[in-house]
Amino acid sequence: MGLANRIDALKNRHQELDAAIEMESARVLPDEVELHSLKKEKLRIKDELLNLTRH
């Protein structure tokens, strides 16, 4: 997988996580553990994207 493909895949996953976070947050009783997990993964991907695009 080339760098451009990896960056695209990470951007797509970041958007999917954003949507999942919004959906979970909109629930009457959101699962805080799930929200924390989703946000943590989203941040990890953001950091990876930053590292890939700096080089």
Q: Which pLDDT belongs to residue 28?
A: 96
- 22 closest CA partner among 6, 34, 11: 34
Domain that holds residue 9: 3-54
Per-residue pLDDT at 55 exceeds 70: no
> With 90 as the cut, is the pLDDT of residue 24 above it?
yes
The model's pTM is 0.88
Overall number of domains in the chain? 1
Q: How far apart are the first and last CA of the chain?
A: 17
